[in-house]
Amino acid sequence: MNRPDFLSADAKYRFIFDHFIDLIMVCDAGFTIIESNEAANIVLGKGESLIGEKCHQVLRQNNRPCVDCPLRDTVNSGTVIPLVKYDNRFNEYFEERCFPILSETEELDSFIITVKNITKSRELEEKSTQMKKLTALGQISSGVAHDFNNVLTVVLGRVQLMKRLSSDPYFLKSLDMIEKSALDGASKVRKIQEFSRPSSKTLNESVNLKNIIEEVVEITRPKWDAASTIKGILIEPILELNDDLFILGDSSDLRNAFTNIIFNAIDAMPNGGILSIKTEQMDNYIHVNFKDTGIGMTEETIERVFDPFFTTKGVLGSGLGMSEVYGIIKRHNGKTYIQSEAGNGTTIKIRFPSAKQSVEKISAAAVAQTNTFSIYIIDDEEYILETLRDFLSDLGHTIHTNTDPRQALADIKKNTFDIVITDLGMPGINGLELAENIKSINPRIQVILISGWALNLNESDLENRIDFVLNKPFSFEKITFTLSEVGKKLAASNRKASS
């Protein structure tokens, strides 16, 4: 708005005063408002003048001066002390500042109050703070995930070595369960790593639901069998599972969802009962039903059962189980339905789009090992070196190991090796720098990079340095498959050199 040039000095002051966006009030020493601008009148006085009102009345609806009034602190400190308050009337945050006006005798004569709406800036500040917290948490979780991946690498490795040395069916079945649980743990660790680095992963694994459900029933056996026996009750699972029912999905997530459903069903049968699990295909959909003979649910519970943090188990429940189930099924393009009645059990009905069976990514034939290599393994964790050395030695390879990358580099300069397997994160020199030095010594050495970190490497990181990448924890089938690929690459290189 343009200011007329002929305004008097008082009118000019009034014009400026009324066009401040912040609320401004001038008060005497007794907290009575003796002047207010237009913004204050509109917001706090509903368009009426505030002159004659008490500031604590219009700001706080208090009949006496505010206990937290910033005026006192400002006068005592000699510094303007801002006060941030949330006003329920407007559902917004305001920052108040008091500017005392002293008399010639240094006594409070009057003061000015300014009130600024800081809701938007506060939201931006909170978002910035939240992002900083998430970044810090992501860095911490990434480090924890790296350490877990190292541990899981050894667990998986030792389990797979034990499977090669045993023919006892029961022992092998137990090892299978340990292996699958460790792989599920690895999947959860990957989700931790993706916390600060979201993944665009698509569901392209063809999963056999019968196999997944049978595995989950075995994994949950300690709860429905042993624990129930200790309580003196009987819980019996009855399975009606069709063969060759495949969906596109993540086997670890599905195991997690089905485990939650089974645990909830067991908890709903405190006196024992029957848990029926049935699968069938209708048209282009696969239906999975979990039916228990437990205490059932009320209509109110059914409506809230998928809500995060809702639980009927008191302090024993987190309220995350069924909400997690809902999220997993939804990510698999599935639908979840509940049929239940108090005292008459519960049926969880799940429907997935069906998919065709895909060829296994790494078949037994694909990992058949015919070549043997001279391999140098470098990792700062001794127990990982031992696990890899034991497995690869068992396959007939000549193995050298070292926890010190600089000593390893000196060995590689003096001797000839076909393959170097190196960790990414090591003290002194990282795997990428080590690989670059190795290639400068002998470009024909095949370098396999292994890491427990969430790798986000681009082509420039790998070019002329890294030939293959393995994420921890890895299966020995994956290692063997990678070595077979190394053999193909070396053979092709030899043919090219001789032609």
In this predicted structure, what is the pLDDT of residue 152?
75
pLDDT at residue 278 is higher than 90: yes
Whether 479 has a pLDDT exceeding 80, the answer reads yes
| CATH number where 46 lies | 3.30.450.20
Number of domains in the chain: 3
Least confident of 70-84, 327-341, 449-463, 479-493: 449-463
* pLDDT given at position 370: 55
Does any domain span residue 158?
A: no
Q: What value does the mean pLDDT take over residues 141-167?
A: 72
Whether the Cβ atoms of residue 297 and residue 306 lie closer than 8 Å to each other: no
Question: In this predicted structure, what is the pLDDT of residue 233?
Answer: 87
Is residue 183 one of the residues assigned to a domain? no
pLDDT value at position 177? 76
**CA–CA separation, 427 and 404 (whole Å):** 8
Q: Of 256 and 205, which is predicted with more confidence?
A: 256
Domain end among 298, 330, 357: 357
> In this predicted model, what pLDDT tens digit does every residue of 21-37 receive, in sequence order?
999 999 999 999 999 99
Q: Which of 117, 138, 154 is the last residue of a domain?
A: 117
Q: Provide mean pLDDT across the span 153-164.
A: 76
C-alpha distances in Å from residue 247, one per residue of 191, 288, 354, 465: 21, 12, 5, 38
Domain membership of residue 87 (yes or no) is yes
CATH no. for residue 262? 3.30.565.10
Of the pLDDT bands very low, low, confident and very high (cuts 50, 70, 90), residue 291 is very high
- The per-residue pLDDT for 147 is 67
Sign (positive/negative) of CA torsion 470, 476, 479, 481? negative
Whether residue 468 lies inside any domain: the answer is: yes
In a domain, 146, yes or no: no
Q: What is the pLDDT of residue 383?
A: 79
- Residue 304 half-sphere exposure, CB side, CA atoms within 13 Å? 10
**pLDDT tens-place string over residues 340-353:** 988 899 999 999 99
Instruction: Please give the pLDDT value at position 42.
Output: 92
Report percent pLDDT > 90 for the chain. 27
Higher pLDDT, 448 or 10: 448
Rounded to whole angstroms, the Cα distance separating 114 from 96 reads: 6
Which stretch of 206-215, 240-249, 363-372, 464-473 has the lowest confidence by average pLDDT? 363-372
Is 208 within a domain? yes
Q: Is 368 part of any domain?
A: no
Instruction: Choose the weakest-confidence range: 27-36, 92-101, 201-210, 296-305.
Output: 201-210
**What does the pLDDT average to over 241-253?**
87
Residues 393 and 342 in one domain: no
Which of the residue ranges 101-115, 143-157, 302-316 would you say has the lowest mean pLDDT? 302-316
Range 414-430 average pLDDT: 87
Residue 49 clears pLDDT 50, i.e. is over it? yes
Residues 217 and 333 in one domain: yes
pLDDT for 318: 38
Give the predicted TM-score (pTM) of the model.
0.43
Task: Report the chain's mean pLDDT, rounded to a whole number.
Answer: 81
**What mean pLDDT comes out for the span 382-399?**
86
Task: Give φ, ψ of 193 to 5 degrees.
Answer: -65, -30
Is the per-residue pLDDT at 196 higher than 70? no
- 383: CATH: 3.40.50.2300
The confidence band for 204, taking pLDDT boundaries of 50, 70 and 90, is low
Q: What pLDDT is recorded for position 73? A: 84
CA distances from 1 to 5, 21, 31, 42 (A): 13, 14, 33, 18
User: At residue 110, does pLDDT exceed 50?
Assistant: yes
Vertex 204: Cα angle to 287 and 448 (nearest 5): 145
CA triplet 203, 209, 336: central angle to 5 degrees?
75
Give the residue among 61, 64, 54, 124 at the shortest CA–CA distance from 88.
61
pLDDT for 15 beyond 90? no
First to last CA, the chain: 85
Angle, nearest 10°, between helix axes 119-165 and 169-193? Answer: 160
Q: Does one domain contain both 317 and 412?
A: no
- Separation between Cα atoms, residue 16 and residue 22, nearest integer Å: 12
Question: How does pLDDT run across 119-148, given as a tens digit for each residue?
Answer: 888 877 766 765 666 566 555 555 566 666
Confidence of residue 455 (pLDDT cuts 50, 70, 90): low
In a domain, 193, yes or no: no
Residue 324 lies in domain = 202-357
- Is there a single domain that holds both residue 232 and residue 378? no
Beta-ladder partners of 286:
281, 352
Compute the distance between CA of residue 215 and CA of residue 3 in angstroms, rounded to an integer: 80
Q: Are residues 296 and 406 in the same domain?
A: no
Same-domain pairing of 404 and 301? no
HSE-up (13 A, CA, CB side) for residue 229: 4
